[in-house]
Amino acid sequence: MNPDLPSPAPERRPKPVEHLSPIEVERLADRVRLRVFEYTLANNGGYLSQACSSAELLVGLYGLLMRLAPSVAPLVPPAFSGAPSAAQAHPQRGGDYNGPRAPHLDRFFFSPVHYSLVLYSVLIEFGRLSEGALDHFDEDGSTVEMIGAEHSPGIEVTAGSLAQTLSQAMGVALARKLRGEPGFVWVFMSDGEFQEGQTWEALAALAYHEIDNVKVVVDVNGQQCDGPMDGVMTISPIVDRARSFGATALEIDGHDLGALVAAANTSHPGGPLVIFAQTDPCRGIEVLRTRAPRFHYVRFRSDAERALFEDAYRELAADSCGGTEAGR
């Protein structure tokens, strides 16, 4: 890391999830954004806007909604040991960071794996990874990859081709339903995946087979690699379209944790629940707006731009340290 930049507030063991208040979850979301900002500066680039848009959603899932047992994986992930094979009897499983599998527990499927650093940061805040877990972020041979796979912390299945994960999660959910397991299957997606036909096929199949133990949270930040979504291919009216495929679909402010919890508790018999969370790709990091209209991946274009972002990081880090001290 750059020694000239302050680090985020020191690592703390978080409170048990059931004792977290919405205000504390919001504070954790700010810390997640700050950590991703730090690593964007250290690596001269990164998926920073995804942290801005999704931090509350992912922290809310882990802190308020999902029923997960403690992690059963190492706090510092080991190096990649190889793909599953006859010689690899026990391959690494990123899903182990979400705890063991049990009928009464939930399962979590993370689809937009270019958001992986955001997920790793959330896992750190909830004590499922240590600070040292990011020492080898994005290095050859590391499982802590920039674009994660099934061996990366918190990631259940390889999802490098967007829109496949919902179908994979559906298979697991159907098996759980047939076995009578009460646990839910949660899926986190990005709005760009609704430009893919496989997403709509999965929604239709979920409704047709009446698979109602699936809850989907979608980060609708309006951005993709080619620019704003509405300048590439629109997905509107997304809520009405999802309902026409048999889903119970809702639209919320993705930075409002109360709205997220209320939506997640909505009854959805006979099909999946899909929550479209409208989010801001610059939330909490205003300097990002200087890069409008393209936010998908930040790579600094000049020393002057990097200095601008470093100044913004220092200001946010100072505010975070002050807030942390005040909150103790």
Q: Report pLDDT digits (tens) over 200-237.
A: 999 999 999 999 999 999 999 998 888 788 888 888 89
Residue 294 CA to residue 49 CA, distance in Å, equals 10
Alpha carbons 143 and 297: distance in angstroms, whole number? 21
- Cis preceding-peptide flag for 237 (omega within 30 of 0): yes
Mean pLDDT of 122-146: 94
CA gap 176, 161 in Å, rounded: 25
pLDDT at residue 4, as a whole number: 60
Considering 87-91, 177-181, 227-231, the range whose residues carry the highest mean pLDDT is 177-181
pLDDT score at 1 = 54
Q: Report the 10 Å Cβ neighbour count for 206.
A: 27
Buried b (16+ CB within 10 A) or exposed e, 114-131: bbbbbbbbbbbbbbbbee
Q: How confident is the model at residue 82 (pLDDT cuts 50, 70, 90)?
A: confident
Question: Which backbone phi and psi does 158 adopt, to 5 degrees?
Answer: -65, 130
In Å, what is the CA distance from 314 to each residue of 58, 249, 323?
24, 40, 14
Is the per-residue pLDDT at 321 higher than 90?
A: no
Burial-class residue 234 by CB neighbours within 10 Å (0-12, 13-18, 19+): exposed
Confidence of residue 327 (pLDDT cuts 50, 70, 90): very low
- Residue pair 298/114 in contact by the 8 Å Cβ criterion: no
Q: How far apart are CA 279 and CA 264, in angstroms?
A: 17
286 versus 234: the higher-pLDDT residue is 286
For domain 17-71+91-327, give the CATH number: 3.40.50.970
Q: Higher confidence at residue 226 or residue 17?
A: 226
Which 8-state DSSP code applies to residue 191? G
Kindly tell me if the per-residue pLDDT of 137 is higher than 90: yes
Local confidence band at 10 (pLDDT 50, 70, 90 cut-offs):
very low
Confidence class for position 11, pLDDT limits 50, 70, 90: very low
pLDDT single digits (tens) 18-48 = 567 878 888 999 999 999 999 999 998 999 9
Q: Which of 113-117, 164-168, 225-229, 269-273 has the lowest average pLDDT? A: 225-229
What DSSP string describes 107-135?
EEEE--GGGHHHHHHHHHHTTSS-GGGGT
State CA 60 to chain mean position distance.
10
Distance, in Å, from the CA atom of 121 to the CA atom of 154, rounded to the nearest integer, reads 11
Q: Residue 297, Cβ neighbours under 10 Å: how many? A: 14
Residue 280: is its pLDDT beyond 90? yes
Are 189 and 220 a contacting pair, CB within 8 Å? no
pLDDT at residue 188, as a whole number:
98
Report the amino acid identity of residue 237: P
CA–CA gap between residue 236 and residue 241 (Å, rounded): 8
User: For residue 179, which of 245, 97, 107 has the smallest C-alpha distance?
Assistant: 107
| Predicted local confidence at residue 306, as pLDDT | 95
Share of the chain above pLDDT 90, in %: 78
- Average pLDDT for 104-126: 97
Q: pLDDT-based confidence at 328, cuts 50/70/90?
A: very low
User: What's the confidence (pLDDT) of residue 9?
Assistant: 45
Determine phi and psi for 193, rounding to 5 degrees.
-70, -15
The reported pLDDT for the residue numbered 304 is 96
Residue 95 pLDDT exceeds 70 = yes
Residue 324 has pLDDT above 50, yes or no: no
pLDDT of residue 228: 82
Q: Give the pLDDT confidence score for residue 323 in this predicted structure.
A: 47
Strand order in the sheet with 214-220: 107-110, 185-190, 214-220, 273-278, 248-253
Mean pLDDT computed over every residue of the chain: 90
Indicate the pTM of the whole model.
Answer: 0.91
Question: What pLDDT is stored for residue 217 in this prediction?
Answer: 98
